Chains A and B, each alone.
Chain A
């Protein structure tokens, strides 16, 4: 069966520090991978998606970047965090249909 791992679960970082969130998927090949951000108790905003290794599409201009160095690995990064980068970050994967399977999320607090 397929599983998705996302870490860390919580992260507190000072403004201006770098960021690296990692997500890996097991049990499937060539998944579509996504990074979402969620404001407290609200809907999800798509940040990045990837249909293959090295292929990244950005949905909104921002202080973040994404990379896919391996088929089942997706990384969210920033060189210098801003206060506005705080939020709940979710990694997800999908197969041939539009069903999304999410990781357990990372709560990022930038202070």
Chain B
């Protein structure tokens, strides 16, 4: 069974601060996705990374896929209240059977104005 552990589990910061969320596994993934979810809504895809060492930027968000494709990080610069939500990483399987996407344990972020 592939497991994805996210840390921290909860994070409360002031507006303008920087933060990093980690997603770690002992398994190798063919790709890794990051989603953001707001209360009472479904998760929304932010980014997909597929190559070991890949870095993608989405405005103030920077996503990195580990060289060994076992871990990933999400860094937010100058956090804003609109960044508040539950961040989920999700790993795609090596077999290519995307029905086996594994979700991480989640990081709940609160950005205080």
Q: Once bound together, how far apart are the Cα atoms of A104 and B41, in whole Å? A: 5
Contact B108 A34 (CB under 8 A): no
- Counting contact residues on chain A (CB < 8 A from B), the size range is 20 to 34
Contact B99 A41 (CB under 8 A): no
Q: Which of A41, A57, A92 contacts B42 (CB 8 A)?
A: A92
Contact B48 A34 (CB under 8 A): no
Q: How many of chain B's residues have a CB under 8 angstroms from any CB in A? A: 25
Contact A57 B103 (CB under 8 A): no
Contact B44 A102 (CB under 8 A): yes
The smallest C-beta distance from B85 to any residue of chain A, in angstroms, reads 10
Q: Which residues in A have some Cβ–Cβ distance to B below 8 Å?
A: 6, 9, 32, 34, 36, 41-46, 49, 51, 57, 90, 92, 94, 97-105, 107
Please, could you name 15 A-B residue pairs with CB atoms under 8 Å apart, sorted by A? Answer: A6-B42, A32-B99, A42-B105, A57-B99, A90-B42, A90-B43, A92-B42, A97-B48, A98-B30, A99-B45, A100-B43, A102-B42, A102-B43, A104-B40, A105-B42
Known A41-B86, A41-B106: A51·B99 in contact at CB below 8 Å: yes
Q: Once bound together, how far apart are the Cα atoms of A77 and B97, in whole Å? A: 25
Q: Once bound together, how far apart are the Cα atoms of A101 and B86, in whole Å? A: 16
- Residues on A with beta carbons closer than 8 Å to the beta carbon of B86: 41
Most chain A CB atoms below 10 A, which of B43, B44, B108: B43
Contact A43 B106 (CB under 8 A): yes
- Residues on B with beta carbons closer than 8 Å to the beta carbon of A107: 40
Q: Once bound together, how far apart are the Cα atoms of A57 and B97, in whole Å? A: 13
- Residues on B with beta carbons closer than 8 Å to the beta carbon of A97: 48, 98
